[in-house]
Structure formats: structure tokens, C-alpha cells
Structure 1
Amino acid sequence: THTHTHTHTHTHTHTHTHTAMMWITYAPISDLVAEFYGVPQSVVNLFSVSWSILYLPGSALHTYVMAKRGVRQVVLLGIAGTALGGVLRTLGSLLVDAGTIGTLPGYLMTLLGQALAGLVQPIFVNGSAMIAAIWFGVEERDLATAASSFCSPLGSALGQFIPPMLVSENDDGDVEGMTLLHAVQAGIALVGFVAVLVAFAEAPPTPPSRSTELRHREDRGTMAATDVLRTAWGMLRDQQFQILLWSFGVGLCMFNSLMTLINEYTAVEGYSDNDAGIFGGIFLMMGLVGVIAAGVVMDATHAYRAIFKTAFVLAIGSLLFLIVALRPGQFAWSAVAFGAMGCVMLSLLPIALETAVECTYPASEEISAGMLFSIGNIFTVGCVYFMETLIKLHDDYDSTVFTPVNLALLAFAGVAVLPALFYSGPNR
């Protein structure tokens, strides 16, 4: 049983990590991507924003296929879509490199591939708590959820570090390495597809508990769309789940927007593409530390309410630290501030997921997770372009750290933290 569990966990970790890496790939090199495809930088942000736009329909697809076909088939669909998206992105950059039909067709092909990968992203993100419940016992569930949540920041960190290493501008002013970057990521996705095809099982040979076996056997093949909608509507009527939904949704919106705009956000303070990649990587790598710490503390105490509230209070403190530290010529302090903020903000991933499971039990884990991530991604769509507009006003407010974009971030943090302090949902 342990061998099957470990093989399954490694396979899911690989696919989930790679998906996160594809999402954030263009953020640290957005100026070079704009130059390569001959489009404005705001259009480049659509590569990331498209994932937020497609999150809700992707969640619906995940829930439907999961109910009708089960875990193995839904994960296979996810990695197949990711691999095909990676191939289309590679073809798009090859069209630009060929230089025979202009850059627009290449951009559109790349956007199509990115959107396809974004459509299947919820299969990996929403399934974290569900996978933990199917494959692990109650005593291991919190750590398993944290381990799965670990994949998103790890993949995003790689997506921040690697692109500036492969993509650069040569002496003639031409952007090089875009096709190599796409080809590497497509190759990793294809390896993941083969791994899922060969090694990913529907369920462990021995279920972790009888109740888990019965519940998931009942869910599969019987959960119609009306059942999902009825369950979701019941959650939305729960005042405590509304608090979770709002606070986590705003927090996720801040994270997505900051990671998407990290190049532009740091460039106005005089930092380069490489610096932006380092800041983003540090944010996410320290986020891994936060995720692990959250998993250990939850596993030891099961004090979900207290942990949830504490993490949100620490998050607003870390944001203030970042705002004060991110100034020209303060690379070291800026890096420390990004790390502190990442450690706190990303710890909220497993905390919120497990708190939602406790709050909505016995509802299916992927429904609560899907709703949490969907609302955050819906908020992200408008927030990215709103923050981008505020960043462009930086020069008019250069004498203060409280620039329009930083004031907006503080406002977002405030409206997320305040309701979280009143959360009093059950621990079952």
C-alpha cells in the first residue's frame, strides 16, 4: 500500500508542479515576451489572466469528469491537456522564429496553448484535498494536503527562476530562447503524461478508512450536475463558508496579481528581469517553508480556526514590510520582504483548504476547493489590469512608499483580514 501511495503521490506532484510552472512562465520576462511577439506588455499579461478567466469552466469540467469517470481519468485528461498546450506554445514560438508570416499568428497559437493548459489547471489545484482524503488516513490528511499544496509554490518558483536563464536579448536586440523554454516545458508535460498513463491508479489497494471508501464510491457515477449545484448552493448559504470564500478569494487575487505583475511592480523601483525572477522565486520558495510549517502545525493541533486567523494577521504585517522595503538599491531587504510575505501568504493554501473541508463536511472536497479557487480567479481578472494601471502612476508618487498600487494592496489585505477574524466555523 505504501509503495502504491508513494508512486501515486510522486506522479501527482510532478503534474501539479509543472502546471504551476507553466502558469507563471511569462511574468518575470514580460518585457522580453512583449518584444518577441510584437505586442504590448498588457497583452502579455493575458497569458496569465487567461488561466483566471478559464478557472470556473475548468472547475466545472473537473467536477463533471470526476463524477462520471473517476480520479484516474480526470488526472489523465488534465495532463493530456497540459502536454498539448505545451506543444501548441512551442509551435507558436517556432512560427515567430520562422519570420515568414509575422508575429501575430505565433502569439495567437501560443495563447491557445496557454489557454488549453489553463482550462485543465483546476484538475490539479481543486483535487488536492480530495486526493489527500482518498489516499491518506485522517491522521495523515493534513500533511498530505500540505504536500499537495506544496506543488503550486514549487512550480511557480521554478517558473520565476528558469525563464530569465533561458530567454534573453542578444547583442543585435533580438530575443532568444523562447522556443527552447517552451520545448523544455512541453517535454516535461509529455513525461508527466506517460507517468500518469503508466503509474496513476484510481484508488489505493486498501482504502485509508471505510467511510472514505463508501463516500467516494457513492460519489463516482452518481453525482449529477444538479447534485453539484445543490451542494455548492448549500455552501454559499453557510455564513462561515462565505467568510472563507471572501477572505481566501481576495488573498488569492492578491497573490495571482502580484505574481503576474512582478516584473512591472519591481521595475519601477529600478530592478531588472533577473531581479524580478529572483524576488518571485524567493517569495515562492519561502512559501514552501510556510506550507510545510502549516501542515505540521495543523497535523499536530487541528486548531484550524486559530491558525486561519493568525495567518491572515501575519499576512497584512508581511505586506507592510514589503511596501517599506521595496525601494531602489535595497535588493537584500526587498528579497527578505518578498520571502517573508511568501512564507505567510502561501501557508494559507493548505490552511484554507483544510478549514473548508472541516466547515463543509461531508460535502465533496473538490467542490469546496473549486469554489475557493474559482472566486479568487474571478477577482484576479479585473485586479491585474487595475493594478497595472496603478503601477504606471508610480513616477507621480515616487517620494513615498504609499504609492497608489501599494495603497490598493493594503486595501485588499484589509478587506480580506477583517472578515477572517470573525470566522467561527466548526472543527469536525
Structure 2
Amino acid sequence: MASSVDPKAARIALASDVGFVETPVYRSFKRRWYGLVALMLLNIVASWAWLSFAAISSNVKDFYGLSSETPVNWLSTVILFTYPIGSVPCAYVLNHHGIKASMVISAVFLVIGSWIRVAGAKCCSDSGSFGVLIFGQIIIGLGQPFALNAPSYYTDMWYTSKSRVSANALASLSNPLGGAIGQLVSPAFVTKTSEFPNSVLWTSIIATILCVPAFFIPSRPPFPPCPSAAKPKLPFSESFKALKCNCRFIIIFVVFSVLVGFFNSFSSLINQVMEPYGYSSDDAGIDGAVLIVAGIVYSAISSPILDRTHSFVLVLRIQIPVIVICYICLVFTQTTDHQLVGPYIVSGVLGAASFSLLPLALEWVQEQVFPVSPELTSSILWAGGNCLGGIFIVVMDALKYGPEQGNPPGNMRRSLIFQAAVAAAIIPLPFWLGTKDQLRNRRIEIDNAETSDHTVSPEQSL
């Protein structure tokens, strides 16, 4: 009687039993979505903590009895400057210990930093301790890279070339989503200065709950999802040599760092940009949320299209000039007539054009430098963006008019002009990336070269 056993399945089972695989086996697992959600939650917590105080800077200043909002700006800036310090051990942990170790470390730092902030707001004295609050921000800044640098590593391990951009978009853009939550929730929690300590407490409770799933993610898939994921990556020393000689990586590093830096600085200063013109903290919070939510919605639409078309360079060359135009428009949209339509429209377009470039740049760079380790490229890119963000905040705060200077007093028009001028300087860079023949998508080429016979479907569930 003929056997009903599938010969191919029998070969795979036998190969597994004896310790070798006769032919390559590639499989996507549904459990990858659980790990992605856990990574998204970590990034939401990290960014929420970063922008907890941006939209309520005047309340924070009054609560701690500060003479100006400059120290409040350092609550955001200190995280940005701490980020590159945390990126170095993050790259090592991802390379040597994997995604789960990185996410657990991030969760531990975020939870500890959040509760130190509670001590700085409630426990040290009736008026709190600004120094303890800053220390909590530093701890959060050290833990943030272990979550934000991880999406490229995670998508390379768990996803195919047909879904990496979309998965990276979900993980990377959850970071600005956390910022949007912070921009909206903080003004709602803090309607008067005395409510500030309780807002820090509730934020810490929520952060602790959202960090729990990170402790239960799988370390790696049983089988790679596609041929490129199975290829060995270069050691760190060789990866560094390859990156410093790759002009396309250097160009994207400059573009990515400048655009992420300005998003970080503008998001942190948005209340101070709008307040001199008579806008409320609620108006500033909504404007920051529009900036972020519009970017997330547009990315949700564009990322699946990019996964199918792989038109990375074309999008870069279109959207970077759009972003620069938006920064120029920001100089003119802040007016004393309190019209919100202009700021909201410009912020929406700016967010849509900026955020959709995040996963695109992170994934396209890896296509160009493969087989360089993805955790190294993402760590370098994010470190550059956060470091420049901190520098831009310091510069823009220094350019701010004094309380009795400018029209209206205390406005940040000079800061916005600086922002627009520096952004305009990067417009030529995407046009210097190279010719079509030079811009090879290496991982995609590897995956397309393999036959579909090596792929096992349907997806295996948990």
C-alpha cells in the first residue's frame, strides 16, 4: 500500500533528528508578531518618558521654582545626550546575546528610571527634587537604545524582504507614537501645577505594566524566514571598516541624523515655540500629536507599498525637499492671531514626510551595506540623530529671545530660521547616492535568487 507521508516533510524531520538539514528550510512564524508588539510597547514607554514634560514646561518650571524653562529643556536634552552612551553596549548586547537580552535590559532601565522620577516629583520634599528627576531621565536615556536600536536587528531575524519595512515602521514609529501620547496626556493630567507629581506617578505605573511583555518574547526563530536572514554577518571590526568606506551609508547617516535631530528638538520645544504667540499648552500638545499621528498614519500606508516596490531612493529624493519646505513654513505659521490651521497643516505634512523615512532609511541602508550587522548600522544612525537633537535643543534655546525681547517677547523665530537653514543644506545629498546600477538591494537580490521550493508554508503558529 502506498505511503501517505509527504516525502519532503519526512526529509526535513529526518534531517532535524540527525542534526543537519538536507536542503535550506525557511519559515515565517506567527510568534514574530508578539515580539514586535513587545518591542513597540518598550519604544512607546521610552518616548513617552522623553516627552513627558515638553508640553507642560511652564508647569514644571513653576512646580520646581525655576527661574526659566531652560532647565526644563534639559529633561529632554539629557536623554538625547545619554542615548549615544547607551548605544555602544546596546550594539554589543544585540550582537552577542540577542534581541531578548536587549529588550529585558531596556525594560529594567525604563522601569527603574520611571520610579526614580516619581521620587523626584513626590518623595524627596513637598516641592520635589529637580536633580532626582534629571537622574531618572538619565537612567531612561541609557535604556532607550536597547529598544530603539533593535527593530532592524529584529526584522532581519524574523521577517522577509516583503515585510521588513512595514515591520520596522511599526517598531520604529511606536517611539514617536509614545511622544504623541506624552504631548496629549501630560496637558490632560496637569491642568494646574499641583497636579504634576500625580501625573509622573501614573505615567510610571503605566510604563511598568507596558514593559512586562518584554520578559516573555522568544529569543530567535527556529528557522530563518528567508535566505538573506540565514547568511552570516560580518564581525564588528570588519563591519566598521566597511561602513566608514561606504559613501552611501555616510550620506544617509548625515541626512538621518539631521532630520531626526530636528524632529527631536522641535518636539521638545514645541510648547516654547507656540506659547509666546498666545497658544495654550493644550494647543501645543495637539500640534505635537498632529505631527506624530500624521506621520504614523502615512507610514502605515506607504510602508507596505515600499515593501512591494522597493522604490527607496525615489522616495528619499521626493520627501526630503518636502520636509525642508515644511521647516521653512514653520517660520511663518506662528502668528499672534491664534490661527491653528496653519501650524496643524504644516506639522501634519512634516510628520508624514519625516516619519515614513525612518523605516525606509533603516532598511535601505542595510540593503546597501549587507552583510554588515544590522544592529551596528541602526545604533550608529540613532546615536547620530539623538546626539544632534540634543545639540539642536541647546542651540535653539540659546537663539530664543529673552522675556523682554522680540515681538512677541520670548519668541523662537531665530531658532526656527536656524532649523530651516540647516535642513535646507541636506537637500542635495540624496541626489549624490549614486546611479541605479550602484544602488543594489543586496538582501532582496539574495532572496529573489532562491527558489520558492525552500519555503515552508503556511506559517507555523505559536
TM-score (norm 2): 0.83
- Check conservation: 1:89, 1:182, Cα contact below 8 A: yes
Q: Residue 214 of structure 2 corresponds to which residue in structure 1?
A: 196
What is residue 201 of structure 2 aligned with on the other side? Answer: 183
Could you tell me whether the CA contact under 8 Å between 1:93 and 1:110 is conserved in 2?
yes
The reply on whether 1:75 has 2:84 as its aligned counterpart is: no
Give 1:172's aligned residue: none
CA separation in 2, counterparts of 1:158 and 1:123?
21
2:93 is the alignment partner of 1:65: yes
Q: Are positions 1:255 and 2:263 aligned together?
A: yes
Q: Does 1:396 align with 2:406?
A: yes
Judging by fraction of residues, say which structure has more helix: 1
* Superposition deviation, residue 188 in structure 1: 2.3
Equivalent position amino acid for 1:184 in 2? W
Equivalent residue number for residue 146 of structure 1: 169
Residues matched between the structures, number: 407
Return the alpha-carbon distance in structure 1 between the equivalents of residues 288 and 199 of structure 2: 18
**CA deviations over 1:188-211 (Å, ceiling 9, x no partner):** 2322332222x3110123321254
Correspondence 1:412 to 2:422? yes
Of residues 313, 321, 327, the one that matches 1:313 is 321
Q: Tell me, in whole angstroms, the C-alpha distance in 2 between the residues paired with 1:320 and 1:166.
A: 33
Shift of 1:299: 1.0
- Does residue 372 of structure 2 align to residue 385 of structure 1? no
Unaligned runs of 5+ in 1: 170-174
8 Å Cα contact 1:235/1:360 also seen in 2: yes
Query: Following TM superposition, by how much is the alpha carbon of 1:271 offset from its aligned partner in structure 2, in angstroms?
Result: 0.9
Show the 5 A alignment for 1:215-364. Answer: 215=232, 227-328=235-336, 329-364=338-373
**How many angstroms apart in 1 are the aligned matches of 2:252 and 2:58?**
36
**What is the deviation of 1:74?**
1.3
2: CA distance between counterparts of 1:47 and 1:390? 19
CA-to-aligned-CA distance 1:285-322 (integer Å, 9 cap, x gap):
10102322331231121011111111101111222333
1:6 — aligned with what?
Answer: 33
Q: Which residue of 2 aligns with 1:25?
A: 52
- Separation in 2, partners of 1:427, 1:69: 28
Amino acid at match of 1:8: G
- The residue aligned with 1:43 is 71
Matching residue within 86, 109, 130 for 1:107: 130
Deviation at residue 417 of structure 1 after TM alignment: 1.9
**Which runs of 5 or more structure 2 residues have no equivalent in the other structure?**
1-27, 443-462
TM-score using structure 1 length: 0.89
**Larger Rg, first or second structure (1 or 2):** 2
Distance in 2 between residues matched to 1:382 and 1:322, nearest whole Å = 20
**Aligned match of 1:426:** 440
Structure 1 CA distance, aligned partners of 2:87 and 2:180? Answer: 24
Q: Which residue in the other structure is 2:181 paired with?
A: 158
**1:137 paired residue among 147, 160, 165:** 160
Contact 1:27 1:261 in 2 (8 A): yes
Alpha-carbon displacement from aligned partner over 1:44-79 (angstroms, at most 9, x marks no partner): 111111111111111111112223322111110111
Q: What is the CA distance between 1:127 and its match in structure 2?
A: 1.0
* More deviation, 250-259/145-154: 145-154
CA contact (8 A) 2:157 2:229 kept: yes
Q: 1-side partners of 2:224 and 2:197: how far apart?
A: 44
Label 1:360 to 1:327 Cα distance change in 2 as closer, same or farther (>3 A). Answer: same
1:121 aligns with 2:149: no
Kindly indicate whether the alpha-carbon contact (under 8 Å) linking 2:276 and 2:408 is maintained by their aligned counterparts in 1: no
Q: Aligned letter for 1:259?
A: S
Q: Is the 8 A contact 2:152 2:168 kept in 1?
A: yes
